[in-house]
Structure 1
Amino acid sequence: MEVQVWLRWYTRILDDFGFDRRADEESASYLDAFLREHGCLRVDDIDVPSSDFIVFGAGPSLRSHLKRFRALDEPMTVISADGATTALLEEDVLPDIIVTDLDGKMEDIIEANRQGAVLVVHAHGNNLPALRRYLPLLQNIIGTTQSIPHGCLHNFGGFTDGDRAVFLAAALGAGRIVLAGMDFGEVVTRYSRPDMDSELGPADPVKRLKLEYASRLIDWLERNGDVRIERW
């Protein structure tokens, strides 16, 4: 997605959610400064095992889709969206790439990163404290922003961790992207909400609107991108 196209979506998102663009850009500046000092990866630095990608979201179908994936006998580039990383590690699946705004179960994200997963860390107005806390514990980082990309920061398009992962896959040259654990419904899992006691729970209105945007953005990519999207 070209940045100018994304910015039209971003303007609507700011209005619908009441987000502060200045806060987004403050967090982005912090992430960029950290990566400039400690080193940042570029897209060409990511090892892509296959042009067939699978993106795991943290929806209710995640566990069943993980079992279906493990039964496959084909190479795929595996991307997990934030909290979905926990479920993958529970099934002994190490993602190649994790797309995160650092609000999943961080001990699992840190462990997967230690084992070799590349982290695509996103900056937005609500996660500056998390950036300050966790960036020193991470390595092999690509930085993203939802505002204007600059310095070490990219903007591939996408809003939530899940649909940003799909746009990232497209930017990495995917010919096929399988959507797994991406339900876009009204139920969330403990992988999406690590603070939740039960396995499943109702999505609040903000989460439902985020998932609606995620679904619409992926639909846009399917219509306008040069990639085949397969929904499990």
Structure 2
Amino acid sequence: MSDSHHPTDLSPSVPASIEMQTEVRDFFGWRETDDFHSAQSLLSAVEDSENPTWARHKRLATLSKLYRRLVIRQADIAVLGAAIEPDELLAALETPTILVPADGATGVLSELPASISDKAWSRIACVVSDADGGSGTNEAVRRAVPIVLHAHADNTANWRDLLNLAMAQVEPPELILTHQTTKKIPGMHNPGGFTDGDRAVCFLLALGVERRRISLLGTRTDIVGRWSGYTNEERKLEKLIWMERVLDIHGF
């Protein structure tokens, strides 16, 4: 994001990443109208809720806070992928690196000693999620970690479950909403990307984080990571090929 942009403008840093979303839909035989319907439904569910922190201006404030923490302070950031292992995370915690897990990758924190796990949770700026990350994502919700929540055609039931869990908390997590359509949806953003892992990278770059400050931990395209949550392994491997393409056009 250039200096001329407002911190809450999440236009993709590489416009081709939006075009690639259309290629992905064509490859899998998905319809953009279904993606759009899920996005509109998510937006309505959030804005019709009784949680004041989910109001549109509050979501923009959440985005501004992330901008200050991640961009203004020039933080080094590690995106945690589904194949993250404890030793990789422990090495990252030896430095002042901020963590941005992709969905269920937060589950790896459960395998750390309690004192170190608490340190790791304090380093998490947000979780990028389409709400199918299982226990790791649910724990992030319970800990009120900001969620960059994504809507696509076949995750309506998942994001509804996540919102219900969030609303049951004394302190629900702050939200930023993303979609993957070619349309402009006020109140939502499309920074590019397809899977949670590459979408996390697209989100950070669109926010204004410099490429050189982003590292990838546990991002594999040859295996389905054990923190992938609920997934079809064969289909997931196909998706990982597209993740690799998205990361490639962003210089990773």
| TM-score over 0.5 (shorter chain) | yes
Shift of 1:195: 7.4
Which AA in structure 1 matches 2:33?
R
Secondary structure of 2:69's match?
coil
> What is residue 190 of structure 1 aligned with on the other side?
226
2:76 is the counterpart of 1:52: yes
**Residue matched to 1:9:** 20
More helix by share: 2
CA RMSD in angstroms, aligned pairs only:
2.2
Aligned residue for 2:169? none
Q: Does the CA-based 8 Å contact 1:51-1:173 persist in structure 2?
A: no
- State the 1:177 CA deviation: 0.4
Shift of 1:180: 0.2
Q: Say whether residues 1:178 and 2:207 are aligned partners.
A: no
Q: Distance in 2 between matches of 1:214 and 1:23?
A: 21
Alpha carbons 2:148, 2:175 under 8 Å: kept: yes
Describe the superposition over 1:159-180 as per-residue Cα deviations: whole angstroms up to 9, x where unpaired: 0000000111112322210100
- For 1:80, the equivalent position in structure 2 comes to 101
**Secondary structure at the residue paired with 1:191?**
coil
The 2-side partners of 1:144 and 1:178 are apart by: 22
Within 5 Å, which residues of 2 pair with 1:29-48? 29-38=40-49, 39-40=55-56, 41-42=59-60, 43-46=63-66, 48=69
How do 1:1-232 and structure 2 match up within 5 A? 1=12, 5-38=16-49, 39-40=55-56, 41-42=59-60, 43-46=63-66, 48=69, 50-59=74-83, 61-70=84-93, 72-73=94-95, 75-91=96-112, 92=117, 93-94=120-121, 95-105=124-134, 107-138=135-166, 139-147=173-181, 148-175=183-210, 176-185=213-222, 187-194=223-230, 203-204=233-234, 206-222=235-251
Structure 2 residue runs of 5 or longer lacking an equivalent are 1-11, 50-54, 167-172
Q: CA deviation at 1:64?
A: 3.1
TM-score (norm 1): 0.82
**Contact 1:96-1:117 at 8 Å conserved across structures:** yes
Task: Please identify, of 47-56 and 96-105, the stretch whose mean Cα deviation from structure 2 is larger.
Answer: 47-56
Partner Cα distance (1:195, 1:165) in 2? 19
Query: Which residue number in structure 1 is paired with residue 3 of structure 2?
Result: none
Q: How big is each residue's C-alpha offset from its partner over 1:2-32, in whole Å with a ceiling of 9 and x where there is no partner?
A: 6853332122111111112111111100111
Q: Percent identity?
A: 32
Larger % of strand: which? 1
C-alpha distance after superposition, 1:77-122 (max 9, x if no partner): 21000110111343212122101111111x4323323324110010
Instruction: Name which structure has the greater RCO, CA cutoff 8 Å, separation 6+.
Output: 2
CA distance in 2, matches of 1:150, 1:114: 28
Q: Gapped runs of 5+ residues in structure 1?
A: 197-202, 223-228
SS at match of 1:211: helix
8 Å contact kept, 1:96–1:116: no
CA–CA distance in 1 between the matches of 2:16 and 2:46? 26
Give the paired residue count.
211
Displacement of 1:132: 2.2
Separation in 1, partners of 2:18, 2:176: 20
